[in-house]
Amino acid sequence: MPENRLAVLSLVCAALFWSTSGVLIKLVALSPLAIAGWRSLIAGMVILLLCRRAVHISWNRDVLIAAACVGLFCISFVVATKLTTAANAIVLQYSSSALVAVLAPGMLGEPTRRQDWYFLSVVVAGIALFFLDSLSLRGMLGILAGAAGALFWAGAMIFLRKTRHGSTAWPIALGNFMAAGLCLPFMFRQVPTATDTLGLVGLGVVSLGIGHALFSYGIKRVRALESVLIPSIEPLINPMWVFLATGEAPGTWAFIGGTLVLAAVTVRGVAMVGAGRMTIAPAKPSLSAQSG
């Protein structure tokens, strides 16, 4: 199989593996923090195993901040998925590109142009629509957790970008271990059932571990346009699995807002490719600058 075709297939499979996170989180009958802890503990070990040749242990400031952002994002995403719909949680994650556009000039020296502010306005408007649905306190807290997760993921993208001359596998694995450490007090309050255990292993090994490894291989071997468009299928498929398994669907306003966010993120990514300034990986960063 030609290398580019294999790389495209790797990205498609990565997006499919990532998309299982929503339904697996919904089906595990543990508290959000317990799920986040076990998921991150397993994922951290899988990432180190799969990317062991590229892991370079470092404790500098950028690595530690990147790891902290990754860890806080991992917790926020699970909490958001448990408290609100999976569709809301995953779309809010993808809105992090808007925050990168705001933070990148000061932190990376990468310019934010007028078009970026138009894009940011559409994303903010889309997120605001989420709050127009009739929400319980639980749902509102879930959306706030998702918004916080977007902020943490934006920070992760920026500081992983600052570590781009070395392996990013280490800060991502370290961030997962940090998340597990923060969630440790909640991980042993309930005894997981056999179904829970299978779900947690699926989250750590398949959804995060293998998904990131496939992304790491494919992202360096495809065209920039493909790197933007292919991972964007994840937020479309993730809620579909949840709907098929549980019947959960986003509210009307959340659906409209989510469509705006995903359209804005995708259009901006394509425009950046056309302008020759594709500088930050789209939804997920590569695990390693050197692996594969």
pLDDT digits (tens, 9 = 90+) for 94-132: 788 777 777 766 666 666 677 777 887 888 888 888 878
Average of per-residue pLDDT across 41-47: 93
Q: Please indicate, yes or no, if residue 225 is contained in any of the structural domains.
A: yes
Q: Please indicate, yes or no, if residue 110 is contained in any of the structural domains.
A: yes
Q: At what angle do helices 32-50 and 169-187 cross, to 10 degrees?
A: 150
Integer Cα distance of 148 and 103 in angstroms = 15
Which structural domain, as residue segments, surrounds residue 128?
3-274
Looking at residue 186, its amino acid is: F
132-154 pLDDT tens trace: 876 788 888 999 999 999 999 88
Q: Please indicate, yes or no, if residue 43 is contained in any of the structural domains.
A: yes
Q: Supply the pTM of this predicted model.
A: 0.83
Q: Please indicate, yes or no, if residue 291 is contained in any of the structural domains.
A: no
Integer Cα distance of 150 and 145 in angstroms = 9
Q: Please indicate, yes or no, if residue 12 is contained in any of the structural domains.
A: yes
Q: How many independent structural domains does the chain possess?
A: 1
104-118, 195-209, 211-225, 227-241: the lowest-pLDDT one: 104-118
Q: What share of the chain is helix, strand, coil (3-state, %, to 5)?
A: 75, 0, 25
Q: Please indicate, yes or no, if residue 196 is contained in any of the structural domains.
A: yes
pLDDT at 263: 86
Q: Please indicate, yes or no, if residue 269 is contained in any of the structural domains.
A: yes
Provide CB contacts within 8 A for 30, sequence distance 6+. Answer: 38, 190, 192, 196, 200
pLDDT at 180: 97
Q: HSE (CB half, 13 Å, CA atoms) of 118? A: 7
Q: Please indicate, yes or no, if residue 288 is contained in any of the structural domains.
A: no
For the four alpha carbons of 18, 22, 25 and 28, in that order, the dihedral sign comes to: negative
